[in-house]
Chains A and B, each alone.
Chain A
Amino acid sequence: MIKLKINGKPVEVKEGTTILEAAKQAKVKIPTLCKHEDLEASGGCGLCIVKVKGMPKMPRACTTEVTEGMEITTHDAELVSIRRTVLELIMSNHPKDCLVCARNQDCELQRLCAEFGIREDAFPSIVNRQPHKKDDSTGTITIDTSKCVLCGRCVQVCQKVQNVWALAFLKRGIKTELSPAGEINLQESPCVKCGQCSAHCPVGAIVEHDDTQKVWNALMDEKKYCVVQIAPAVRVAIGEAFGFPLGANLTGKLNAALYELGFKAVFDTNTSADVTIMEEASEFKHRLTNGGTLPLITSCCPAWVDYMEKYHGDIIDNFSSAKSPQEMMGALSKTYYAQKHNIDPKDIFMVSIMPCTAKKYEITRSDDMFSSGYQDIDVSITTRELARMLKQSGVNFKEIEERKGDDILADYSGAGTIFGATGGVMEAALRTAHYLITGKEAASLDFKEVRGLKGIKEAEIDVAGTKVKVAIAHGLANVGEVLSKIKKAKAEGKEPPYHFIEVMACEGGCVAGGGQPYGVTNELRKLRAKGLYDEDASMKVRCSHDNPAVQKIYKEFLGEPLSEKAHKLLHNHYKARASYKK
């Protein structure tokens, strides 16, 4: 332990702690713009400078480690004035069109400028940066480099956390620009649309592609029968935009608010997650007992699917052919629901609310996404977009009385709920796979070893004497290690090291997806996940196969899991793609 003083108060912290971290532990907040808890410090912005007794320069708190006996001043009149100047310099090269910016009122730079009382353009913009590029080519995230403050968070998250390498800093000095490799747009790059760049951007340089107008237009169109689905992770994050406690599970309020908006039916992606589990667990049982290709790898995450198709086309056979819950609900709404309620599927307008930017890409990913004969999902919007729509709508989200969703397509089990957190899909699948293989429920439905934020989780589950080895990876950079183990075993002709693997592209899973409210930290990931696990624990029906609604859907419509109808509507194909189109 290291003893030091921060603003005169004695503090004790672990060796290797930075001044920034030590201050945080001492409940002192040093302002930062480039440092993000998920990422390595780069020392880029210069806002976190502090004074250290005996040191002639003012070091940056984010990159300086504490030493024994250090005496640090984090705030005084001079530091405040220097920080204000740093902000003024950043502002000298930043557009001032905050009123028409997607990050208006939710921007780290704007907040700092407000806190520091910046009231004028102190420095005229004399640095002519490179011509600004606006890139909306993917239809999922929009890059506007004119707003980039060169903090480097997006580049780091894309390269190091996700191992995608779509974004880079090209050139140098005042000519530095955020760009894919070369004169190409994002859609031609290896981008997997996970949106983590947008979730980590402190300003409006990278934001989700806004599709809210399409939803408003559909709701205005009398010929359309608008239906909507809510993904698991949305319900535990939407409250952040309305001042609810972090991690509050607001399914009932969301149902009510969406009916208020004018949707004719509110479905729950949790329910189709249960259907996904029926299909995927059946597929797993089939492969396990018939010597099929193992490990089986989950395919619910569209960013992961895109990544696999671009970087690991050789493991397509390992992929579950089951569609994601979003797509399954789309297909069911325009077939099962349409038939049951005697509605022409061409009139149904299906909106999905997702924690994810890649879901916007998924809805037209391949011909399989038109399995109902129409585009199964018409529009996919993120949690952030929904928050804006609710605010526009005048719905009093805080006070609104809870409502139940659709009678069948919003009845879910605890297994469907936990889909939104890393390990949740695996746990849900294990509950049902155990039942399908042995005919009995598992002794405990809590598979706690697959929960939590560790980058790679491994577990051995006893299923009637067979040791089922599973692995869970989240954050795409963590997938590489798991996959190389499989590929090595395959090359050496050995037994695969795992039977079943779950992958979610975003760290923490969908609760921290690229379309969720800003400001995610591990603390917040845990709280949002807790909102889901608490609901699961409180439910009577905790297994997908026990969900009466799911049983009804199969009985009335699909037949058996993996039936011909299920294959046509609920499964899909993959193909290897080039990572660069140009």
Chain B
Amino acid sequence: MSQETTAAAELRAIINKWKDVEGSLVMMLHSVQDKLGYVPRETAMVISKETGIPLAKIYEVLTFYHFFKLNPPAKCQIAVCTGTACYLKGAPELLKEIEKCTGVKEGESSPDGKYSVAGLRCIGCCGLSPVISINGKIHGQVKPSQIKAILAEAEKAEVSHE
């Protein structure tokens, strides 16, 4: 209960900071995204109510920028570099293998919130290509046969985290 109250207070602080500054909807949404990793619908509705900005407008902004997420981040966030070097060195095969192991396609998340798979363009480690990152941890020169083990390791780390 007290946690909820804190969250509401934090949201109020974000809204109060920006609501009188014109054109600052995106700043509010940034703050929420930074704090929660996504922008929950209830939060967008509170922002709409407090600022008078129609919810449709908020959703236009939220869906325009890839930065904003509408769903909570997955426990296991898999990113596969599909930049030129990684692509040529086998990123498509890695994506295929990841889909085989997790059932999740590029750009999607599993309904239980366990995995999300994203393609991204070059994370600056072309020397290690093909590269994937799981919850921020980089794995270089990955072969499709290694995917299963890497995922298992990441899941273990996630469990010990909890």
Q: Which residue of A lies closest to B64 (CB)?
A: A172
Known contacts A182-B41, A182-B70, A580-B45; is A166 also within 8 Å of B56 by CB?
Answer: yes
A182-B41, A182-B70, A580-B45 known; A165-B56 Cβ under 8 A: yes
Minimal beta-carbon separation of B33 from chain A (angstroms) = 16
Query: Are B59 and A182 in contact (CB-based, < 8 A)?
Result: yes
**A171, A180, A582: the one within 8 Å of B56 (CB):** A180
Per-residue 0/1 for B41-82: is the Cβ within 8 Å of any A Cβ (1 yes, 0 no)?
100010000000011111110011000001000000000000
Q: Is A170 an interface residue (CB 8 A)?
A: yes
Would A168 and B41 be within 8 Å (CB), given that A159-B54, A580-B55 are in contact? no
- Cβ of A468 under 8 Å from chain B: no
Contact between B57 and A171, CB atoms less than 8 A apart: no
Residues from chain B with Cβ under 8 Å of A189 in the complex: 56
Q: How near does chain B come to A20, taking the closest CB pair, in angstroms?
A: 27
Q: Is A570 an interface residue (CB 8 A)?
A: no
Given contacts A170-B63, A171-B64, A182-B41, contact A165 B57 (CB under 8 A): yes
Q: Is A181 an interface residue (CB 8 A)?
A: yes
The answer on a CB contact under 8 Å between B41 and A170 is: no
CA distance in complex: A189, B41 (Å): 13
When distances are taken between beta carbons in the complex, the residues of chain A under 8 Å from B56 are 159, 165-168, 180-181, 189
Q: How far is the CA of A182 from the CA of B44 in the complex (A)?
A: 11
Contacts of A168 in B (CB 8 A): 56-57, 59-60
Considering only residues 80-98 of chain B, those with a C-beta below 8 Å from chain A are none
A370 sits at the interface (CB 8 A) = no
Contacts of B58 in A (CB 8 A): 181
Contacting pair A165 B63 (CB below 8 A): no
Tell me whether A116 is interfacial, beta carbon within 8 Å.
no
Is A169 part of the binding interface, using a Cβ–Cβ cutoff of 8 Å?
yes
Q: Are A169 and B70 in contact (CB under 8 A)?
A: no
Interface residues of chain B: helix, strand, loop or mixed (majority): helix
Number of B residues, CB within 8 Å of A: 12
CA distance A240 to B64 in the complex (A): 41
- Report yes or no: B60 in contact with A169, Cβ–Cβ below 8 A: yes
Q: Which of B41, B55, B57, B64 has the most CB of A within 10 A?
A: B55
Assembly CA distance A170 to B44 (angstroms): 15
Q: Are B64 and A181 in contact (CB under 8 A)?
A: no
Shortest beta-carbon distance from A466 to chain B in Å: 37
Q: In whole Å, how far is A168's beta carbon from the nearest beta carbon of chain B?
A: 4
Minimum distance in angstroms from A427 CB to a CB of chain B? 34
Please state if A170 and B59 are interface contacts (CB–CB under 8 Å).
yes
Chain B residue at smallest Cβ distance from A168: B56
Closest to A173 in B: B64
Most buried by B among A172, A182, A189, A582: A182
Nearest-neighbour CB distance to chain B for A234, whole angstroms, equals 32
A165 nearest in chain B by CB position? B54
Q: Which residues of chain A come closer than 8 Å to B45, judged between CB atoms?
A: 580
Distance between A190 CB and nearest chain B CB, rounded to angstroms = 8
What's the Cα separation between A181 and B64 when bound, in Å? Answer: 12
B70 x A170 contact (CB < 8 A): no
**A429–B57 alpha-carbon span in the complex (Å):** 39
Chain A residues contacting B54 (CB-CB under 8 Å) are: 159, 165, 181
Residue of B nearest to A189 (CB): B56
Query: Which residue of chain A lies nearest to B49 when distances are taken between CB atoms in the complex?
Result: A579
Nearest Cβ distance between residue A102 and chain B, in whole angstroms? 25
When C-beta atoms are compared, the residue in chain A nearest to B60 turns out to be A168
In the bound complex, residues from chain A placing their C-beta under 8 Å from that of B55 are 165, 181-182, 580
Chain A residues 153 to 171 lying within 8 A of chain B, measured CB to CB, are 159, 165-171
Known: A165-B55, A180-B56. 20 other contacts (CB 8 A): A159-B57, A165-B54, A165-B56, A166-B56, A168-B56, A168-B57, A168-B59, A168-B60, A170-B60, A171-B63, A172-B63, A172-B64, A181-B56, A181-B58, A182-B41, A182-B55, A182-B70, A189-B56, A580-B55, A582-B41
Q: Give 5 closest A-B pairs by Cβ, nearest first.
A: A165-B54, A181-B59, A168-B56, A170-B63, A165-B56
26 A–B contact pairs at CB < 8 A? Answer: A159-B54, A159-B56, A159-B57, A165-B54, A165-B56, A165-B57, A166-B56, A167-B56, A168-B56, A168-B57, A168-B59, A170-B59, A170-B60, A171-B63, A180-B56, A181-B54, A181-B55, A181-B56, A181-B58, A181-B59, A182-B55, A182-B59, A182-B70, A189-B56, A580-B45, A582-B41
